Amino acid sequence: MSHYVDSEVGRLGTVLLHRPGRELARLTPRNNDSLLFDGIPWVGRAQEEHDKFAAALRDRGVEVLYLADLLTDVLGTAFARAELTEAVLSDVRLGDTLRAEVAVHLADLDPAGLATVLMAGLAHEELRTGSGLVYSLLDRHDFIIDPLPNLLFTRDSSVWVGGEVAVTSLAMPARSRETTLTHAIYRHHPRFAGTPLVYEPGLEHLEGGDVLLLGPGVLAVGVGERTRPAGAERLARRCFARGLAHTVLVVPIAQERATMHLDTVCTMVDVDAVVMYPNVADSLEAWTVTAGEDDELRIFPPEPFLTAAAKALGIDTMRVIDTGLDPITAEREQWDDGNNTLAIAPRLCVAYERNVETNAQLERAGIEVIRISGSELGSGRGGPRCMSAPVNRAPLGH
């Protein structure tokens, strides 16, 4: 099966999701900040909300792949199993004695059980036998293998650009191991056999929530808290070299929790339309980057993001739909991921139902909105776009 994505709004064919599981139940008031959650989600309700999200996509003809299923498949092969086991055993915090005991524990697990540990972590009391200095000094509530509650946000760890996939390099320590799983899936799962990788973990920090495929050959990359300028530069060089893009717009965003990624302030809902947080609409700038001679980049002076985007796409102007109606509502709904929509097709998107004014604004602009509940899913600061990694979209015009 071929996989291809060249826009944010082409008809969505296949998407990668992660149904929240045991890793979310690991969150406590002691660790939720370090694990990047603003609250302690009700896991059962989060799963219900996620199931309804997946059902809404299937109802519109979208194929839904689950990360846990793909990971379990991959762990059925000896090479991938050894690679992913080594990735957790290499943690320098373990020490030799505990490392050997964890290795024995993991070796006894079947693929589904190992997949669960790789996603949900391994707690002190779950290790069947433990000894040595490191184990003795661990608190009984400590994790020997940390959980990955942010796996829910599959957008960040991989981005398709044309027929190639960028497996990203996540900035926050709590998330850095996520891409070892995604990387293994894209390299070892039969579904993705032979897929070229345009980016890989270990390179400069780059996260999928900062990458918008504005249209064929045109990328926007936010740089701020998570994606660094060097990551944007590396992605641009590689996309130009492989003919995947002709223009990359590099967009600085505030390094704040509320605006951690570009898609927290702006997402596309039509080939020429964005829903955008009005507080940044006038101030957001873009450096236009194109391929130069001798592998050098041509960098043009900054101009308003919307102006640069329209020029790169070859259109007169970008239509802007504001988050909210007034400054207070806009700020509230931006915090609740009002901008973070997932387009299923041009003028058709999924959004959280709680963002009442933003959804009404979208509908007044001719955008059909599929509303989903997200009171628990949103506690990690992510909306429908964050929770989805498109792996196949119809090229625009098809």
Residues marked as catalytic? 386
221, two tokens: 């990359």
Task: State the Cα torsion 330-260-154-17 to the nearest 10°.
Answer: -10
For residue 158 the two structure tokens come to 């991989």
CB 207 within 8 A of CB 227: yes
Q: Do the strands 143-145 and 158-161 form a parallel or antiparallel pair, or are they unpaired?
A: unpaired
- How far apart CA 118 and CA 335 sit, in angstroms, is 30
Q: Identify which of 266, 269, 272, 270 has the alpha carbon closest to the alpha carbon of residue 285.
A: 266
d(CA 356, CA 117): 38
Give the SS3 label for residue 55: helix
Rounded Cα–Cα distance for residues 365 and 373 (Å): 22
Q: Residue type at 331?
A: E
Unique residue bearing structure tokens 């899913």: 377
SS3 at position 367: coil
